[in-house]
Structure 1
Amino acid sequence: MPFTLADAERILAGAVDPRDGWEGGYAFTDEPEMLAEYVQAVRDGGDPAPFGPYLVRRSADEATIGE
């Protein structure tokens, strides 16, 4: 599933979904600098879709297992 500008802005605003982060406890929600850089890159260069970041989720429980 694509990781979008809206996702990054939502997380930066503090509206975190339990699925935001990686299986095994690594949470990219703990890296606001990375998210802010992504937001700025999209604002500067436009939406990278369909070549932007994607999250790979396990179908059984939707845990993020790759990007």
Structure 2
Amino acid sequence: MADLMTERLVLHPISVDEAEQMATGEPTADSRWELGFPAEADVSVAERFLERCATTGNPQPFGPYVIRRRSDHRAIGGVGFHRPPDEHGNVTIGYGLVASARGKGYASEALRALLSLARAEGAASVKGDADHANTASQHVMAAAGMLPAGEDERVRYFAVSWNP
């Protein structure tokens, strides 16, 4: 799977080797991680990716991606699908950035690229959620074109759907 390029970012599909580095927190000399990467959530994603690869194979293009700045190629976060599309073509996304990369529009830019990929790969819809207090994440999904799709006592849901 090739990298996804945006104006300022490279979304790089995580390989097994990279996932192992993230899971152990031991980068190679050329890993180029921003301070704070991988975060706890990135480690969890890497561990689930490794488990999935071992049991059902590499899920790409519906897997995790490392977000890198094009300017310096440093890893600043992650974005990806929780799993391949279900029987109805629905997928769920997640994302996160290191603290120093937040507030610059990177998450919305990365999410727009991921939504475009999902549509091109035949997904019927993409869903996401954010805690009620996490208004920044809610703004990210809205800025990427996702619409509010309900809420419960814990989170607000967002979604985007395409006609088949």
- Name the TM tier (shorter chain): 0.5 to 0.7
Compute the displacement of 1:64 (Å): 1.8
Correspondences of 1:28-39 after superposition (within 5 Å): 28=38, 34=44, 35-39=46-50
Correspondences of 1:1-67 after superposition (within 5 Å): 1-9=12-20, 11=21, 16-17=27-28, 18-20=31-33, 23=34, 25-28=35-38, 34=44, 35-66=46-77, 67=79
Alignment deviations for residues 11-62 of structure 1 (CA, whole Å, 9 cap, x no partner) = 1577513424xx3x2122777x623332112211211111111112111111
Aligned-partner residue type, residue 56 of structure 2? G
SS in 2 for 1:54: strand
Runs of 4+ in 1 over 6 A off after TM superposition: none
What residue in structure 1 maps to residue 111 of structure 2?
A: none
Percent identity reads 29
TM-score by length of 2: 0.31
Unpaired stretches in structure 1, ≥5 consecutive residues: none
* Structure with greater helix percent: 1
**Superposition CA RMSD, Å:** 2.8
Aligned length: 63
> Which structure: larger Rg?
2
Unpaired stretches in structure 2, ≥5 consecutive residues: 1-11, 80-164
